[in-house]
């Protein structure tokens, strides 16, 4: 029996979802060995091609999103998709990553793995179907409210595409050009989606206000409002009651997609997904206004309810849009998270617990202490900046650079593994400052006031 030992030079790294078997690992090793023995020339080129074909075949067979491989002597790592390439030390290697347009994630496996992209695609297809159904229903059943709601649904497609692009790009791994990742792209997308929400709310409110004021508003402004408003109805239209069923179905579907999108947004800590979720909720409310308008106009001949309902919806839309714009703007200017934020609390607690359990060359009576913590949000990702206080050593003990590197690597490893979406961890050290001896209490015996105080 021949035993094959894989040298340390022939390292390969795969994603955690790819179960490499022993037989395939030996096949890869044999191919790498042929590359090494081939030397230079045509034989080496043929061996490298055979190795590439073998690895690509294995990666495609497993259905993985990416793969990494390391050539033995040429010294470069090659990564695809979301799998990180292995780092080579002292081999003069280079790393490069291939990635397509994140908006064109049409592969089933890619959509299935990214929950944010998946729920956005579902919402986008739902908006297309609802917009078509509302427009056809509005024309057939003579419902101006449904036609206006169909135009609103078409405007939602812009929001969906912005969300899809932002979520897809923000989930990419950091690169050399973007060491902090692409999280701010999602923040920009959240700002754009929230702006669309605010503009839609203002449009709804303007149309409703013009309907209420009626003769007090010039006719030209009324026509302008009717062109851009999302919810309105005309009293002289004879609306078929069947149009209410379309509005009711839209309410049910939009409420379901709202809850599903909000759940994914909370799990992934995605602001742009949360903004898009509330956009779905606003759509369900506008459909509710259309339902009330159609029903009241048919049963009670009260068309004015549409205007008052539009004002209520516009207030909610503007409030939601303004809150999203404010949060996105805060992230863009790097406003730190407050100590009450759950992400800040988790990082602070984990850092403190890790420092208390750490064993190092520190021989002081106290452990390293967390002096200051700053956490910045970047879309769904976070970056942490830690300042550690080094206690004064006893018996003239001197802490070396290796000591601080050990503490840094251990703490960074623990935080990166246990804190979701934590991209960067910066750690600084400063020595413990000598404490001033507490002044003793003294009394002014000779003072006419005769009192005691401490400094």
Q: In this predicted structure, which of 132-136, 194-198, 337-341, 362-366 has the lowest mean pLDDT?
A: 362-366
Mean pLDDT, residues 442-448 = 45
Q: Which of 364, 366, 375, 370 is nearest to 352 (CA)?
A: 370
Q: What is the CATH number of the domain that holds 390?
A: 3.30.70.1350
Greater model confidence, 212 or 441: 212
Final residue belonging to a domain, choices 333, 363, 389? 333
Note whether residue 55 is domain-resident: no
CA distances (Å), origin 13, targets 25, 192, 293: 11, 39, 61
Task: Name the 3-class secondary structure at 406.
Answer: helix
**Please, which residues bridge with residue 331 across strands?**
none
Note whether residue 12 is domain-resident: no
d(CA 197, CA 324): 9
Indicate the number of domains in the chain: 2
Note whether residue 65 is domain-resident: no
Whether residue 263 is found in the same domain as residue 403: no
Greater model confidence, 88 or 258: 258
Greater model confidence, 440 or 23: 440
Rounded to a whole number, what is the distance in angstroms from the first to the last CA of the chain? 82
Task: Say if residue 447's pLDDT is above 50.
Answer: no
Tens-digit pLDDT profile for residues 190-243: 888 888 878 877 887 787 787 777 655 555 555 555 554 444 444 444 557 777
Whether residue 310 is found in the same domain as residue 410: no
Whether residue 316 is found in the same domain as residue 391: no
**Strand order through the sheet with 95-98:** 68-70, 77-80, 95-98
Tens-digit pLDDT profile for residues 18-31: 333 434 544 554 56
Highest mean pLDDT among 43-52, 224-233, 237-246, 391-400: 391-400
The two three-digit tokens of residue 4, written as one number: 């094959």
Q: In this predicted structure, which of 88-97, 220-229, 311-320, 366-375 has the lowest mean pLDDT?
A: 88-97
> At 101, is the pLDDT very low, low, confident or very high (cuts 50, 70, 90)?
very low
| Boundaries of domain holding 364 | 342-431
Give the model's pLDDT for residue 105. Answer: 46
Note whether residue 211 is domain-resident: yes
Whether residue 204 is found in the same domain as residue 303: yes
Q: In this predicted structure, which of 91-95, 217-221, 275-279 has the lowest mean pLDDT?
A: 91-95
Q: In this predicted structure, which of 6-10, 224-228, 301-305, 326-330 has the lowest mean pLDDT?
A: 6-10
Helical packing angle, 115-140 and 271-299, nearest 10°: 20
Whether residue 247 is found in the same domain as residue 382: no
- 138 contacts: CB under 8 Å, gap ≥ 6: 144, 145, 146, 147, 148, 149, 150, 243
Tens-digit pLDDT profile for residues 123-141: 888 888 888 888 888 788 7
Whether residue 236 is found in the same domain as residue 148: yes
């Amino acid at each position: 029996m021949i035993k094959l030992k894989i040298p340390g030079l022939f390292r390969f790294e795969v994603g955690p979802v790819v179960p490499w078997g022993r037989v395939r690992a030996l096949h890869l090793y044999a191919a790498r060995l042929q590359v090494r023995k081939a030397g230079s020339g045509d034989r080496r080129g043929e061996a490298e091609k055979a190795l590439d074909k073998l690895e690509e075949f294995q990666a495609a067979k497993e259905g993985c999103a990416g793969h990494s491989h390391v050539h033995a002597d040429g010294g470069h790592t090659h990564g695809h998709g979301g799998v990180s390439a292995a780092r080579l030390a002292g081999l003069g290697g280079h790393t490069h990553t291939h990635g397509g347009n994140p908006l064109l994630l049409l592969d089933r496996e890619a959509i299935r793995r990214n929950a944010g992209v998946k729920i956005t695609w579902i919402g986008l297809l739902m908006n297309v179907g609802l917009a078509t159904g509302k427009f056809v229903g509005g024309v057939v059943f003579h419902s101006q409210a449904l036609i206006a709601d169909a135009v609103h649904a078409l405007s939602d497609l812009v929001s969906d595409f912005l969300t899809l692009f932002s979520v897809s790009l923000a989930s990419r791994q950091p690169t050399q050009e973007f060491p902090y990742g692409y999280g701010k792209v999602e923040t920009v997308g959240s700002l754009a989606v929230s702006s669309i929400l605010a503009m839609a709310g203002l449009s709804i409110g303007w149309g409703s206000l013009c309907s209420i004021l009626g003769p007090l508003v010039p006719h030209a402004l009324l026509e302008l409002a009717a062109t851009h408003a999302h919810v309105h109805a005309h009293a002289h239209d004879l609306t078929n009651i069947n149009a209410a069923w379309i509005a009711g179905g839209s309410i049910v579907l939009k409420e379901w997609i709202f809850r599903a999108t909000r759940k994914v947004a909370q799990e992934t800590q995605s602001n742009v997904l949360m903004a898009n979720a509330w956009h779905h909720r606003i759509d369900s409310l506008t459909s509710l206004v259309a339902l009330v308008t159609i029903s009241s106009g048919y049963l009670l001949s009260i068309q004015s309810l549409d205007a008052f309902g539009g004002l209520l919806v516009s207030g909610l839309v503007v409030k939601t849009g303004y809150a999203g714009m404010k949060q996105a703007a805060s992230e863009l200017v790097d406003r730190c998270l407050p100590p009450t934020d759950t992400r800040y609390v988790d990082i602070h607690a984990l850092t403190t617990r890790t420092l208390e359990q750490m064993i190092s060359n520190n021989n002081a009576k106290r452990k390293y202490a967390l002096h200051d913590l700053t956490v910045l949000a970047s879309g769904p990702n976070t970056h942490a900046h830690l300042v550690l206080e080094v206690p004064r050593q006893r018996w003239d003990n001197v802490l070396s650079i290796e000591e601080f590197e050990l503490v840094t690597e251990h703490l960074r490893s623990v935080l990166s593994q246990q804190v979701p979406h934590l991209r960067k961890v910066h750690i600084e050290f400063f020595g413990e400052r000598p404490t001033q001896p507490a002044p003793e209490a003294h009394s002014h015996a000779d003072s006419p006031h005769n009192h005691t105080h401490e400094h």
